[in-house]
Amino acid sequence: MTEQQSAASVPHDTRLAEEEAVALTSELIRIDTTNTGDPATVVGERVAAEYVAGKLAEVGYETTYVESGGRGRGNVFARLAGADPSRGALLVHGHLDVVPADPAEWSVHPFSGAVQDDYVWGRGAVDMKDMVAMTLATARRFKRDGVVPPRDVIFAFFADEEAGGDYGSQWLVENRPELFEGATEAISEVGGFSITVKDGVRAYLIETAEKGIAWMRLRARGRAGHGSMVHEDNAVTKLTQAVARLGTHRFPLVMTDSVREFLAAVTEMTGMEFDEDDLDGSVAKLGAVARMVGATLRDTANPTMLNAGYKANVIPSVAEAVVDCRVLPGREAAFEREIDELLGPDIEREWVTHLPPVETTFDGALVDAMTASIVAEDPGAKTLPYMLSGGTDAKALQSLGIRCFGFAPLRLPADLDFSALFHGVDERVPVDALKFGTRVLDRFLRDC
């Protein structure tokens, strides 16, 4: 069918796209795109990007393949013209790489893409080949059926998200900003999934904010010397004292707008009250979601690496540590002051990676469209804003002035510990959830 139809007149039949989303998730998982973080050992991104480009070209899209800063770091772009090109474009993006998986730990091979027990199994099943597949299936359905979205849609598939995007979104934003021309808003991971709040009522969490990532290297200097002597100026001692001060420090509780709105909405749905004086205790009552929400109540600074010395009886002149810091929106300056006070004047510090927090508001026509598309497929459901404690490609895209949301819709069984599946063993996604998400995306993109 090539005749163009207005969005409203299309009968709502997405069965083919739903089946495709399941098959594409499985096929994408079978393309091993392990991102070790070391550019020399990353595999598969080019193969996956060419696969995606092929699926889009097959139904008539013009695709652009771009390598981002290194050989094989494949990214794909395609555009679908909308009814009103004067409106800003919507960017629908996903990443093609995955974190490593050790087959010995899994019940099925992590790159098998096995479809069994009503799940698609494998590395990337929820992070985020599921959304890539649902996006592809919907993009193909729109092209096949001549569906014209209300505004331009840019489909983008990135390399290197799992290592911070230096060879993916960060590089593209800096070197090829024209590929995002006209984009004002974006959807991608990590949001749109359901939690069952009470009596089978589901809430869908839409990501409106992300903590900042600040990986910091600390260095202490002292006098080198013999390990047998009395020695006052020891770099290892100085460094480890500073590291311990940081690691045991509790940063102040901060109620950001997205956390406040999230808790208010949960109260409205369940009657559960959250005591602002005992937020940690209150949030613990949320069950599996507490792990996610709890990490967005305050900044964190977790020491992760130590390096000093080369022989048992030689006091080194330098000792180093790396600390993984995650910072709430609006807290960057206060956070740095607090860190410097804890470290004291003797410790040098520098950023290894420093990506800003992301925050937008939970309102406007696009949010309304997300909610409407969810409720149409799951009557009685609610949508809530929430903050992600980790980071995504939204950090890079935000620098282009794009408003970023996590909206990769999945209706999940009440007893599934979804957040544990991210980078976890036996990562898998319910077949039903993929079909649901494809129907929601179809509705959403007709109404965006």
- Closer to Zn ion at the Cβ: 257 or 324? 324
- Closer to Zn ion at the Cβ: 14 or 169? 169
- Closer to Zn ion at the Cβ: 134 or 216? 134
Whether the CB-CB separation of 436 and 377 falls below 8 Å is answered with yes
Nearest alpha carbon to residue 391 among 325, 323, 442, 306? 325
Query: Rounded to the nearest whole angstrom, what is the least distance from the CB of residue 130 to Zn ion in the complex?
Result: 10
Query: Rounded to the nearest whole angstrom, what is the least distance from the CB of residue 382 to Zn ion in the complex?
Result: 25
Residue 54 CB: number of other CB atoms within 10 A? 11
Under DSSP, the state recorded for 394 is H
Distance of CA 57 to the CA centre of its chain: 27
Task: List residues near Zn ion by CB under 5 A.
Answer: 127-128, 189
- Closer to Zn ion at the Cβ: 189 or 378? 189
> H or E segment at 347?
strand 347-355
Whether the CB-CB separation of 88 and 183 falls below 8 Å is answered with yes
- Closer to Zn ion at the Cβ: 206 or 218? 206
Residues whose CB falls within 8 Å of the CB of residue 316, separated by 6 or more in sequence, listed in order: 222, 224, 235, 236, 308, 309, 310
Query: Rounded to the nearest whole angstrom, what is the least distance from the CB of residue 236 to Zn ion in the complex?
Result: 37
- Residue closest to Zn ion (Cβ): 127
Query: Rounded to the nearest whole angstrom, what is the least distance from the CB of residue 80 to Zn ion in the complex?
Result: 23
- Closer to Zn ion at the Cβ: 309 or 390? 390
Distance of CA 192 to the CA centre of its chain: 12
Residues whose CB falls within 8 Å of the CB of residue 19, separated by 6 or more in sequence, listed in order: none
Beta bridge partners of 80: 153
Q: Tell me the C-alpha distance between 275 and 282, whole Å.
A: 6
- Closer to Zn ion at the Cβ: 132 or 448? 132
Q: Measured over all CA atoms, what is the biggest interatomic distance in the chain, rounded to whole angstroms?
A: 87
Query: Rounded to the nearest whole angstrom, what is the least distance from the CB of residue 29 to Zn ion in the complex?
Result: 14
Query: Rounded to the nearest whole angstrom, what is the least distance from the CB of residue 134 to Zn ion in the complex?
Result: 14
Query: Rounded to the nearest whole angstrom, what is the least distance from the CB of residue 127 to Zn ion in the complex?
Result: 4
- Closer to Zn ion at the Cβ: 186 or 323? 186
- Closer to Zn ion at the Cβ: 128 or 289? 128
Query: Rounded to the nearest whole angstrom, what is the least distance from the CB of residue 133 to Zn ion in the complex?
Result: 14
**443: exposed, middle or buried (Cβ count in 10 Å: 0-12, 13-18, 19+):** buried
Whether the CA torsion 358, 361, 364, 370 is positive or negative: it is: positive
Query: Rounded to the nearest whole angstrom, what is the least distance from the CB of residue 393 to Zn ion in the complex?
Result: 8
In 229-317, the DSSP E strands lie at 300-308, 314-315
Residue 234 CB: number of other CB atoms within 10 A? 20
